[in-house]
Amino acid sequence: MTAKTLATALVLAAAATLAAAGPLDKTECIAPAKPGGGFDLTCKLVQSALLDGKFIADPMRVTYMPGGIGAVAYNTVIAQRPDNANTIVAFSGGSLLNLAQGKFGRYNESDVKWLSAIGTDYGAVVVAEGSPYKTLKDVMAAMKADPTKVVLGAGGTIGSQDWMKAALLARAAGVNPRSMRFVAFEGGGEAMTALQGGHIHVFTGDAAETLQQAKAGSKVRVLAVMADKRLPGDMSGVPTAKEAGADIEWPIVRGFYVGPKVSEADYKVWSDTFSKMMATPAYERLRNERGLFPLALVGTELDAYVKRQVADYRKLVEEFGLNVAK
């Protein structure tokens, strides 16, 4: 074989390899935060599920792109990597709330292709084990009588998911959210410690997070979960907020999107793969291990869900008088 023939053969072989490569080859998951935390958990969950289920041949690479609860990653993918079919990006309910507040810059919820929701957590109203508040109605009655005497707290500042949960509780009690006492902590763990120490009276956190803390020895009681129906397993005895007297739902969805210019064919490959993956018992086990409750939405179903959620969040942002980023 001549050098020229060999070179031609190598070029043809390389071209054939590229042609055969698809969106599931050399995959990457972008976690829009530093290692650890929810975005990392989301990427690591599908990293394991895809590989263990043999949906991908090689381990998915996880890269970190912190900033603005997803804002940096959102802008980067749209502007610089819009057609990268091998890359999926994690998002959360917090990402959608920030989109509703205009914190993702000039882009909105229609500027990416929403791929799949893989699970969810839910807001929870939590008190210390020895709290005088035995029910959610007890908390709301105390807030209505004198909102300055009920100290709420969680791992988030004004406008965050945890603050929103507290604000919705205040509103359900007939209290202006601006009148409630809310203490912001660095994270849920710090807020839980403050709750047990009596520094705050009510923790508006997450159900799964609270369950994990309780199993680890935290002396707390969950008065209600902000879900549309009772949660399974260890939470089955806890009423929903609606059952307990406050018509509040707060899902904390976790999932993925891809760039806006990813082809429909590649998008379909990802969508079909996620549908198959989430239908396996192995995936259910992995999701449960990471403290997520069932929520499986793919493609157009997720797109409709996201747009509905963002629209609802925009109404709340306006109602609570929060400043929307311009």
What does pLDDT average to over the chain? 90
pLDDT at residue 95 in the model? 93
Query: Within this chain, do residues 126 and 219 fall inside the same structural domain, yes or no?
Result: yes
pLDDT along the chain (326 residues), means of 10: 49 38 92 87 95 96 91 96 97 93 94 98 96 98 96 90 95 95 87 94 91 86 96 93 97 97 98 98 93 94 97 93 69
Query: Within this chain, do residues 162 and 217 fall inside the same structural domain, yes or no?
Result: yes
| Inter-residue contact 49 to 83 (CB < 8 Å) | no
129 belongs to a structural domain:
yes
Query: How would you classify the pairing of strands 61-64 and 202-206?
Result: unpaired
pTM: 0.84
pLDDT at residue 100 in the model? 94
Nearest-5° angle of CA 225, CA 231, CA 236? Answer: 100
| CATH number, residue 175 | 3.40.190.10
6 belongs to a structural domain:
no
pLDDT at residue 21 in the model? 60
Last residue of a domain, one of 215, 244, 273: 244
DSSP letters of 159-221? TSHHHHHHHHHHHHTT--GGGSEEEE-SSHHHHHHHHHTTS-SEEEEEHHHHHHHHHTT--EE
- Whole-number Å distance between alpha carbons of 92 and 162: 13
Query: Within this chain, do residues 230 and 189 fall inside the same structural domain, yes or no?
Result: yes
Query: Within this chain, do residues 220 and 274 fall inside the same structural domain, yes or no?
Result: no
233 belongs to a structural domain:
yes
- Whole-number Å distance between alpha carbons of 130 and 205: 18
Boundaries of domain holding 186:
122-244
Backbone angles phi, psi at 257, to 5 degrees: -135, 170
Q: What does each C-alpha distance from 32 to 63, 205, 290 come to in angstroms?
A: 8, 21, 18
What is the number of domains present in the chain? 2
pLDDT at residue 209 in the model? 81
| CATH number, residue 54 | 3.40.190.150
Query: Within this chain, do residues 216 and 285 fall inside the same structural domain, yes or no?
Result: no
Query: Within this chain, do residues 270 and 308 fall inside the same structural domain, yes or no?
Result: yes
Rg (CA), the chain: 22
pLDDT at residue 5 in the model? 53
Query: Within this chain, do residues 126 and 230 fall inside the same structural domain, yes or no?
Result: yes
Query: Within this chain, do residues 87 and 138 fall inside the same structural domain, yes or no?
Result: no
DSSP code of residue 234: G
pLDDT at residue 325 in the model? 59
Last residue of a domain, one of 192, 216, 244: 244
